[in-house]
Amino acid sequence: MKITKICCIGAGYVGGPTMAVIAQKCPHIQVTVVDLNEQRIQAWNDPNTDNIPIYEPGLSEIVAEARGRNLFFSTNVEKAIEEAQVIFISVNTPTKTYGKGKGMAADLKYIELCARQIAKVAKDNKIVVEKSTLPVRTAEAIKSILDNTGNGVQFQILSNPEFLAEGTAVTDLLNPDRILIGGDTTPEGEDAIEALVEVYSNWVDRDKILTTNVWSSELSKLTANAFLAQRISSINAMSELCEKTGADVNEVARAIGMDSRIGPKFLKSSVGFGGSCFQKDILNLVYIAKSYGLNEVADYWEQVIIMNDHQKRRFSSNIVQTLYNTVADKKIAFLGWAFKKDTNDTRESAAIYVADDLINEQAKISVYDPKVGRNKILNDLDYLETRSAEVNSNAIVTFDNAYAACENAHAIAVLTEWDEFITYDWKKIYDSMQKPAFVFDGRNILNAKELTQIGFVYQGIGS
Ligand code: NAD
Ligand code: UGA
């Protein structure tokens, strides 16, 4: 089958950039991205592509090139499903906040709604692609819904997980390490796989396109995220030991990373990993393992999360302890709120948890992040339900300039590794602060020697 029309349900951090790149690389395919969220679709259609709802380097240019040509954003979900031969499901799959599996399992209600809607609308055979990250064997549930509630048409379900990282989404999509496509081993399944392989082979070498059975594909995505997060928790565990022993975690990371079996990437010690997926996907993995009675497997992976929570908490308690055991009414300046640089995404950002701890200690927090505004910051804190929205609002002051955020502060906490922080006039910042002036570098990005020479009391992670 030659694909000419694609629909993607979910215009979020994955659906938006992924479809923009498919549209750019496949001008012969009409790509329609749909979402129930009208405001989000409106922003994707903003005449000025700098206003699209997701900040990713290089994305607005791609949208500008393809939008209106073969890339469309719409709230008309049914029409897009009806017209497409291939339907990507790219909706959110958050951790369940209620009922069985609360706090662990993936909430699949949005996935099920999509399946039911596709079944209702489809009048001819469709390929349905799981782009969202899903528990292994979800395809079975989707297939059952499609086959039992549909109009008698044939559905092929493929698993095609996404491996892009935020902040580098465009380069990851243009030059992926691999594309993974899982499908049925029947002739119809193999045809569906081949149709999707064709789409990607417009810009990805065929030897980088892996095809597997559906369950391997679904489980590979959870496994990849678990391994990546595990590396961070492993180096963060070492960072605490470094602090006690006089070793330096950056030196340790470099030394082990030069072993080609270990490799140098993903060994940056930090205040803890954030983002919408690592925690959610590992909790999901733990839940699945437990549901099969594999308690040792579950405990093994859960430790990655326990270590990460510990790393965030120990960062905030160290601030309190170092500031003479009290931060009440002291101004603490946060540089960065996003969960990593080059994104406006704040989901599960370590900054949220550090702020929450410090507000418990009655600190006044001033925040500067180049891409995150006050509303998002307050929403993140309110979501924790630790205290009233009013108290949160009084505890947080936001600035659109880092120098102003740091003025009169007792301490600065670096929570995101934005490049611009490195190039600041640190002497100027020092002069404007209370003394002693502390810097807690949760990303190890600043020049410790230079800052100490200026007069700062500098503390990085793991040294
Ligand atoms: P997101 O919350 O940014 O976007 C999901 C979108 O789906 C939302 O805009 C929501 O309104 C829409 N939606 C939900 N139900 C809908 C429905 N029934 N009909 C139409 N629209 C609907 O989420 P995201 O970050 O793009 O993640 C999507 C999936 O991709 C998740 O499973 C996630 O684990 C996975 N993933 C995310 C990343 C990442 O970097 N964010 C990377 C790889 C995989
Ligand atoms: C991660 C994976 O890298 C992607 O492959 C995957 O597709 C995605 O999750 C997903 O499934 O959602 P993402 O969360 O966007 O991507 O960003 P990462 O670069 O992985 O960073 C995650 C967190 O770990 C960030 O808070 C980052 O600052 C932190 N991190 C990363 C470290 O603390 N140290 C490191 O060495 C690397």
Which ligand 1 atom minimizes the distance to the CA of 345? 41
Ligand 1 proximity of 353 Cβ (cutoff 6 Å): no
Give me the percent of the chain exceeding a pLDDT of 90. Answer: 100
- For residues 107 and 96, is the Cβ–Cβ distance under 8 A? yes
Cα 124 to averaged position of ligand 1 atoms, centre (Å):
26
pLDDT for 292 beyond 90 = yes
Across 250-351, the runs of DSSP E, i.e. the strands, are 331-335
Fold: same for 5-204 and 278-460: yes
Test site for ligand 1: of 89, 277, 278, most ligand atoms within 8 A of the Cβ: 277
For 152-199, how does the pLDDT look when each residue is reduced to its tens digit (9 = 90+)?
Answer: 999 999 999 999 999 999 999 999 999 999 999 999 999 999 999 999
3-class state of residue 7 by DSSP = strand
Q: How many angstroms separate the CA atoms of 202 and 7, rounded?
A: 18
Task: For ligand 2, atom 4, name the residue with the nearest CA.
Answer: 165
Is 273 labeled as ligand-binding?
A: yes
Q: Is the pTM of this model over 0.90?
A: yes
Test site for ligand 2: of 273, 305, 347, 418, most ligand atoms within 8 A of the Cβ: 273
Beta bridge partners, 185, equal none
pLDDT value, residue 193: 98
Q: How many angstroms separate the CA atoms of 155 and 143, rounded?
A: 8
Is 95 labeled as ligand-binding?
A: yes
3-class state of residue 309 by DSSP = helix
For 98-132, how does the pLDDT look when each residue is reduced to its tens digit (9 = 90+)?
Answer: 999 999 999 999 999 999 999 999 999 999 999 99
Is the domain spanning 222-270 CATH 1.10.1040.10? The answer is yes
What is the average pLDDT value for the chain, to the nearest integer? 97
The average pLDDT across 318-322 equals 98
Is 272 labeled as ligand-binding?
A: yes
- For residues 428 and 401, is the Cβ–Cβ distance under 8 A? no
Ligand 2 proximity of 165 Cβ (cutoff 6 Å): yes
pLDDT-derived band at 393 (thresholds 50, 70, 90) equals very high
pLDDT-derived band at 1 (thresholds 50, 70, 90) equals confident
Other residues' Cβ atoms within 10 Å of the Cβ of residue 218: 24
Q: How many angstroms separate the CA atoms of 358 and 219, rounded?
A: 38
Domain 5-204 belongs to what architecture? 3-Layer(aba) Sandwich (3.40)
Q: How many angstroms separate the CA atoms of 8 and 10, rounded?
A: 6
> Domain ranges in the chain?
5-204, 222-270, 278-460
> What amino acid positions are annotated as catalytic residues?
277
431: nearest Cα among 448, 409, 399? 409
Cα 9 to averaged position of ligand 1 atoms, centre (Å):
9
Note whether ipTM > 0.95 here.
Answer: yes
3-class state of residue 100 by DSSP = coil
The average pLDDT across 330-339 equals 98
Ligand 1 proximity of 225 Cβ (cutoff 6 Å): no
The average pLDDT across 15-36 equals 98
Is 133 labeled as ligand-binding?
A: yes
Q: How many angstroms separate the CA atoms of 417 and 349, rounded?
A: 12
Q: How many angstroms separate the CA atoms of 125 and 107, rounded?
A: 28
pLDDT value, residue 419: 98
Q: What is the CATH number of domain 278-460?
A: 3.40.50.720
